[in-house]
Every structure is written in structure tokens, then in C-alpha cells.
Amino acid sequence: MSVTPHDVTLITGASVGIGADLARVFARHGHELALVARDGARMEALADEIVAGGGRRPLIVQADLSAPGAADALVAEMDRLGGRVTNLVNNAGFGLIGRVAELDRTDQMRMIDLNLRALTDLTLAFLPAIRTSRGGLMNVASTAAFYAGPGMAVYYATKAFVLSFSQGLAHELKEEGVRVTALCPGPTKTEFFERAGVGGSPFGPMPMASSMSVAQAGYAGFMRGKMVVVPGLFNKLLTVTSGLQPRALSMRTIARMQMGRAKGAVSKGDMT
């Protein structure tokens, strides 16, 4: 039986944290959704919540986007379900706290696969449909993108790629009416910190935002066509001053905040 195609906003990493709250915000503004994550039960619960709030039930795809061929499989599943992707939100990602030489090699490469390769592959896979519909793309980066980060070196580097890639793509697609936004939150209250076993923020005295406030700021900036969205005054100051201070000084500061909390521990979770 054929399914009538309908426009959807596809959100990855949509089971918890920023991804789930982005889904809530997009749904609240009338967008029909497709949710992708590894945790199917949580996405079903989120879909029930969206329906209870008057929205159309999202399409749900349970998938590990770090796996080879995940982007092609997702494109095929969207075709099967009738979801025509006009907006893509690349939120899926995770971080590892610890020294590069001491972290598991496989875990670090999986982080690169998810934070970089999957994000780029999904963008390329859905870009033709996004361009045709004059839709948009939101990539969730981080204020980490503006710094080098001893104690989370690979994670910081992946977010720097996301920011640079998003800005370059935004410039290329601007004349076509396609908006591209890099959402760059600072420390955010998500499950990362619970999984890490860290009391409070691993960034010392830096304030932590709620995932909903980040999602609301991201959506507002995306709809206005902003290239880079940095929620929160403190985080904006961090990004503005990142180019003014010597890199060696900022790295020493970041190392002091993070390395003590990374002793002997590998911490995984949503760091976006």
C-alpha cells in the first residue's frame, strides 16, 4: 500500500535532552516530525506527549546512526514511511571525557563516526530534498567549537568541524533560500553529566542552561535564518572572546577545569 508523502522535520538524537526538546518546540509550532535515535521506547513516549498536545504523531525510526550505511537506510525508511524531509536537525552526538592517549580507541572513532561522518552523510543524503523544498538544516555544534579542549580533545575538534561545515554550507545555499544554522550551546543540563558521574558542570563555575531554553533559542534563530546561534549571554561572551585570548592560555584554563574530573574515567553522553 502506497503512503502519501508529507513534509517532515527530521530530528536525530531525539530521545532525550536537546533533541527531545527540539522535537517539542518544532511540534508546538506546527511542524510534522520524524524522530531518529537508538532508544525507541523514549521516542514512543515523546510521540505520545506530542499527540496529547495536539500534534500529529511523529514518524519514529530506531537506528544507530554511527553504523555503516545508516544514512542510506534512513533515506529508504523515510521513503517507505512517506516522510519528505524538508528540514533536517542533526543533533545526535556524544562526548568523551579523558586524555586521548587513555581513552578507548574504538570509542573515540565511534564518536567521530557519529559527530562527523553521520552528520555529513545525512546532510548530503537529504540535501536534494531540502533544496527542492527551500527548507533548512540545523546542525547542533557547541561553544566547544570555538576552542581546543584538553581533556575532551576529540569532542572539541568534532564540534569545530560542525561549526565550520555549517557556516560554509550556509554561504553556499543562501541564494537558494535554504537556511543553515549551527546551534552552539554551552554546558547544558542533559544526561551527559549523570552518566559522567560529575557533580555539576565539568566546566567549573560556568552556568548550565536547560535543554528547553537551548531548543527554544535554536528554533527561533533557525526560523530567522541565523547562521550561528549561541544561547545565553555568558556563552556569547565566551565565543566572542575566544579569538582574543592566546590559545595556550585558554587551553590551560580548560585543562584545569576538565582533567581532574577525567581521572581514570570514560564518560559518555549528550554533550551537545
pLDDT digits (tens, 9 = 90+) for 143-188: 999 988 888 999 999 999 999 999 999 999 999 999 999 999 988 8
- Lowest mean pLDDT of 33-37, 128-132, 191-195, name the range: 191-195
The pLDDT value recorded for residue 269 is 39
Q: What is the CATH number of the domain that holds 171?
A: 3.40.50.720
**Is the Cβ–Cβ distance between 33 and 7 less than 8 Å?**
no
Angle at which helix 40-52 crosses helix 17-28, to 10 degrees, equals 30
Q: Is residue 191 part of a domain?
A: no
What percentage of the chain's residues is helix, strand, coil (to nearest 5)?
50, 15, 30
Using CA atoms, how far apart are residues 166 and 140, in angstroms rounded to an integer? 9
Q: pTM value?
A: 0.87
Q: Is residue 255 part of a domain?
A: no
**Is the Cβ–Cβ distance between 219 and 26 less than 8 Å?**
yes
With H, G, I as helix, E, B as strand and everything else as coil, classify residue 268.
strand
197 exposed, middle or buried (CB, 10 Å; 0-12, 13-18, 19+)?
exposed
28 HSE (CA, 13 A, CB side): 11
The pLDDT value recorded for residue 191 is 66
The pLDDT value recorded for residue 149 is 80
Q: Is residue 21 part of a domain?
A: yes
The pLDDT value recorded for residue 255 is 61
The pLDDT value recorded for residue 189 is 80
CB proximity list for 19: less than 8 A, separation 6 or greater: 11, 12, 13, 37, 89, 91, 92, 140, 270
Among the listed residues 147, 155, 156, 219, the single catalytic one is 155
What average pLDDT does range 194-200 have in this prediction?
Answer: 43
The pLDDT value recorded for residue 198 is 46
What average pLDDT does range 222-249 have in this prediction?
Answer: 79
Using CA atoms, how far apart are residues 165 and 139, in angstroms rounded to an integer? 9
DSSP at 116: I
The count of structural domains within the chain is 1
Q: Is residue 245 part of a domain?
A: no
Q: Tell me the C-alpha to C-alpha distance, in Å, between residue 24 and each of 28, 87, 188, 189, 233.
A: 6, 15, 17, 17, 24
Cα dihedral sign, 210-215-217-218: positive
What average pLDDT does range 212-217 have in this prediction?
Answer: 97
The pLDDT value recorded for residue 5 is 87
Q: Is residue 163 part of a domain?
A: yes
The pLDDT value recorded for residue 188 is 86
- Kindly report, residue by residue over 93-114, the tens digit of the pLDDT: 999 999 999 999 999 999 999 9
Residue 242: pLDDT band with limits 50, 70, 90: low
Q: Is residue 198 part of a domain?
A: no
Q: Is residue 59 part of a domain?
A: yes
**Is the Cβ–Cβ distance between 21 and 189 less than 8 Å?**
no
What distance lies between CA 122 and its chain's CA centroid? 13
Cα dihedral sign, 83-89-95-101: positive
Q: Catalytic site residue 155?
A: yes
Domain span holding position 52? 6-94+105-140+153-185+209-232
Q: Is residue 271 part of a domain?
A: no
